[in-house]
Chain A
């Protein structure tokens, strides 16, 4: 390993996670912190912490120039962006490389293509991956023709939009005629661009993603899939691997598709190819590619026994993949729960504050990735993730049992958390039956 000192451009549990692997590998760590994170666990564990700016991320964790300057000024050889913040910023990848440092992630051009939804979709289609049927439409007649071909319901979206704004659902021809004009007007008002995109709605969907790893020579392997269907308002809450009740043929198709996409885009380092699975038809469609380590990566680590941060660093260092596909073994079942500081009584609004007590259960087969301990301050400026609980057992029932006990024994005081919601999910017969869809939680009785 030629990387001797790593600059960590992130905070929270992932910064702690990266420091831990670096300690095992003998790599020195520098973590860039905002003034709100001066006393964070990552700042204490790293060999050095430097204050990069004030609390607001736009003045600290999102400043490309400051982060590269901090890495250069502290003598780091490489920058690890973690997830979120600048992890999928082509600008950081580019500036890091321009400064003569290694970026622990794919090249800027790959990040840029993957981040452009239409470009990524077109590339996936060229690589032979199925995508959710959809196209840009200029007129109502074109929208009607699309719906005749692919069936209802359909979604109308602003072609220039994003973030779920201005999306209209049409269940039949009458609704399509009624809402087309409205969607067009809203797209124009919101984005200054009246172009619309029409897509078939997958009403009953599972979210399944494939972990991939690619070295600098173009070698690509997959590390299995994860099922992330349990979501609340599009935020993942529980992830598991292997995906329950997934037919072997479909699983193989997903893994092959992920590898094909990685090769087509020229992927490097660790990444995730996301798919939406139509639970009614069994069809799978490419969704997007995430150019970073994922929050839920420990689920894959539990099954494969691999350290994915170590793998990222080895790839960034130019080493070929240490294991061939046939050497990757998958052992048992793993489930991850995301503990967040949110107040269930206030519609799950963020609940920042000081954690007065944080006691983790000590259970066989339980791993906890966290930046919290007694006295930790959860600042109001960042996401509310406190800890990830990962239960690993020979089978799904065993993992569910461990997770149930862990959530029951976990003690958190000082801030409100979603612990009880997680416990209800793990105990819910529908979740225990497996193969839930992305909307099951919102359909669940209160």
Chain B
């Protein structure tokens, strides 16, 4: 089986959309090794792949990502769940507008079936806008925070 350029693009697209950090495919006709862990933390969300369907849909998309301001990055929900800005009602919010964040700064919680997931910023910069409301359902990929990246 010969690989076409289209096949390679498709493989790369599938990898890009999946959660794997490292992948090795070996077949009698080819072998492929991909490692993207070096690029993963703090990845600029503006560099996200183009939507799978570039044509206008008959219906509005499930959630409409706002067009980020030039130079801003977005922290997206890595999973569907209930968004919380605080550890508990008694605690202050993890971050407020104007706070500086590092890639490993916890910015919120997302609850999936009573399991609380700490969500890290994944990017260094300053929070400029909070896009989701505490206690609400957020979808996979929904923008949660807008961040002005550091050092730009």
Chain A interface (Cβ < 8 Å from any Cβ of B): 33, 35-36, 38-39, 43-45, 48-56, 59-60, 65-66, 68-70, 73-74, 95, 99, 375, 377, 379-381
| List of A residues within 8 angstroms of B93 by Cβ | none
Asked whether, in the complex, the Cβ of B53 is within 8 Å of the Cβ of A43, the reply is no
| Distance to closest chain A CB from B10 (angstroms) | 7
Binary interface encoding of chain B residues 30-56 relative to chain A, with 1 for a CB under 8 A from any of its CBs, else 0: 000000000000000000000111010
| List of A residues within 8 angstroms of B133 by Cβ | none
| Distance to closest chain A CB from B118 (angstroms) | 17
Asked whether, in the complex, the Cβ of A39 is within 8 Å of the Cβ of B61, the reply is yes
Asked whether, in the complex, the Cβ of A53 is within 8 Å of the Cβ of B52, the reply is no
| List of A residues within 8 angstroms of B137 by Cβ | 50, 69-70, 73-74
Asked whether, in the complex, the Cβ of B59 is within 8 Å of the Cβ of A44, the reply is yes
19 pairs from A and B in contact (CB 8 Å cutoff): A35-B52, A35-B140, A35-B141, A36-B52, A39-B53, A39-B57, A43-B62, A44-B59, A45-B59, A50-B62, A50-B139, A51-B80, A51-B141, A52-B140, A55-B18, A55-B52, A65-B113, A99-B113, A377-B53
Is B19 at the interface (CB under 8 A from chain A)? yes
Asked whether, in the complex, the Cβ of A49 is within 8 Å of the Cβ of B57, the reply is no
| List of A residues within 8 angstroms of B55 by Cβ | 39, 375
The closest CB in chain B to the CB of A373 belongs to: B58
Bound CA–CA A182/B53 (angstroms):
50
Interface residues of B in 48-90 (CB under 8 A from A): 51-53, 55, 57-59, 61-63, 79-82
Asked whether, in the complex, the Cβ of B17 is within 8 Å of the Cβ of A68, the reply is no
Asked whether, in the complex, the Cβ of B61 is within 8 Å of the Cβ of A38, the reply is yes
| Distance to closest chain A CB from B96 (angstroms) | 25
Using known A-B contacts A39-B57, A51-B142, A68-B113, determine if residue A33 contacts B62 with beta carbons closer than 8 Å.
Answer: yes
Interface residues of B in 98-129 (CB under 8 A from A): 111-113, 115
Q: Is the interface of B mostly helix, strand, loop or mixed?
A: loop
Asked whether, in the complex, the Cβ of A65 is within 8 Å of the Cβ of B139, the reply is no
| List of B residues within 8 angstroms of A56 by Cβ | 14, 17-18
Residues of B in contact, count (CB < 8 Å)? 29
| Distance to closest chain B CB from A180 (angstroms) | 32
Using known A-B contacts A51-B139, A51-B140, A53-B79, determine if residue A38 contacts B113 with beta carbons closer than 8 Å.
Answer: no
Asked whether, in the complex, the Cβ of A59 is within 8 Å of the Cβ of B19, the reply is yes
The closest CB in chain B to the CB of A33 belongs to: B62
| Distance to closest chain B CB from A445 (angstroms) | 28
| List of B residues within 8 angstroms of A44 by Cβ | 57-59
| List of A residues within 8 angstroms of B142 by Cβ | 51
Bound CA–CA A380/B57 (angstroms):
19
Bound CA–CA A68/B137 (angstroms):
12
Known interface pairs A50-B80, A56-B18, A74-B137; 18 further A-B residue pairs with C-beta atoms within 8 A, sorted by A's residue number: A39-B61, A43-B62, A44-B59, A45-B59, A51-B141, A54-B19, A54-B140, A55-B14, A65-B113, A68-B113, A69-B82, A69-B111, A70-B137, A73-B81, A73-B82, A73-B137, A377-B53, A379-B52
| List of B residues within 8 angstroms of A55 by Cβ | 14, 17-18, 52
Instruction: Choose among A48, A66, A380 the residue that contacts B80 (Cβ–Cβ < 8 A).
Output: A66
Asked whether, in the complex, the Cβ of B59 is within 8 Å of the Cβ of A43, the reply is yes
Instruction: Choose among A50, A54, A65 the residue that contacts B18 (Cβ–Cβ < 8 A).
Output: A54
The closest CB in chain B to the CB of A352 belongs to: B10
Asked whether, in the complex, the Cβ of A53 is within 8 Å of the Cβ of B140, the reply is yes
Bound CA–CA A51/B53 (angstroms):
15
